[in-house]
Structure 1
Amino acid sequence: MTTAAPPRIELSELGPIAQLRSGRLVRRLVQLYAGLLLYGFAIALMVRGHLGLAPWDVLHSGLTKHFPIDIGQALVIVSFVVMLAWVPLREIPGVGTISNAIVIGLSTDAFLAVLPTPHELGVRAGLLVGGIVLQGVATAAYIGAQLGRGPRDGLMTGLARRTGRSLRLVRTLMELTVVAIGLLLGGVAGVGTILYAVSIGPLSQALLPPLLVQTGNPSDRPLEKNL
Structure 2
Amino acid sequence: MLGHDGRVPQRLPRRLVQLYAGLVLYGASMALLVRAELGVMPWDVLHQGLAGILGWSLGTVTIAVGALVLLLWVPLRERPGLGTVSNVLVIGLAVDAVLRVLPEVDGLALRVVLAVAGTLLNAVATAAYIGVRLGPGPRDGLMTGLVRRTGGSVRLVRTSIEVAVVALGWVLGGTFGAATVLYALAIGPLVQIALPRFEVGPARAPLRPRRPAPA
Asked if structure 1 preserves the Cα contact closer than 8 Å seen for 2:10 and 2:200, the reply is no
User: Counterpart in 2 of 1:13?
Assistant: none
User: Counterpart in 2 of 1:157?
Assistant: 144
Q: Distance in 2 between matches of 1:223 and 1:136?
A: 21
Where 1:59 maps in the other structure, the secondary structure is: helix
Q: Distance in 2 between matches of 1:86 and 1:56?
A: 17
Q: Distance in 1 between matches of 2:138 and 2:193?
A: 22
Q: 1:22 to 1:149 in 2, by over 3 A?
A: farther
Unmatched 5+ residue regions in structure 2? 1-7, 209-215
User: Counterpart in 2 of 1:142?
Assistant: 129
Q: 1:173 to 1:198 in 2, by over 3 A?
A: same
Letter in 2 for 1:51: L
- Structure 1 residue runs of 4 or more that deviate by more than 4 Å after TM superposition: none
User: Counterpart in 2 of 1:54?
Assistant: 41
- C-alpha displacement of 1:205: 1.1
Q: Distance in 2 between matches of 1:56 and 1:157?
A: 16
Asked if structure 1 preserves the Cα contact closer than 8 Å seen for 2:132 and 2:199, the reply is yes
Corresponding residue to 2:67 among 68, 80, 89: 80
Q: Distance in 2 between matches of 1:171 and 1:96?
A: 20
Q: Distance in 2 between matches of 1:151 and 1:30?
A: 20
Equivalenced residue count is: 201
Q: Distance in 2 between matches of 1:110 and 1:79?
A: 18
TM-score normalised to structure 2 length:
0.91
TM-score normalised to structure 1 length:
0.86
Alignment of structure 1 residues 12-161 onto 2, 5 Å: 23-161=10-148
Greater helix content: 2
Q: 1:123 to 1:201 in 2, by over 3 A?
A: same
Q: Distance in 2 between matches of 1:73 and 1:142?
A: 21
Letter in 2 for 1:63: L
- C-alpha displacement of 1:24: 1.1
Where 1:30 maps in the other structure, the secondary structure is: helix
- For the pair 1:206 / 2:190, whether they are aligned, the reply is no
- C-alpha displacement of 1:128: 0.2
Q: Distance in 2 between matches of 1:141 and 1:129?
A: 19
Q: Distance in 2 between matches of 1:139 and 1:131?
A: 12
- C-alpha displacement of 1:22: 5.2
User: Counterpart in 2 of 1:180?
Assistant: 167
Q: 1:22 to 1:84 in 2, by over 3 A?
A: farther
1:37-72: per-residue Cα shift (whole Å, max 9, x none)?
000000000000000001000000000111020111
Q: 1:69 to 1:131 in 2, by over 3 A?
A: same
1:133-192: per-residue Cα shift (whole Å, max 9, x none)?
000000000000110000000000000000001111100000000000001101011001
Q: Distance in 2 between matches of 1:103 and 1:177?
A: 25
Unmatched 5+ residue regions in structure 1? 1-20
Letter in 2 for 1:34: A
- For the pair 1:222 / 2:209, whether they are aligned, the reply is no
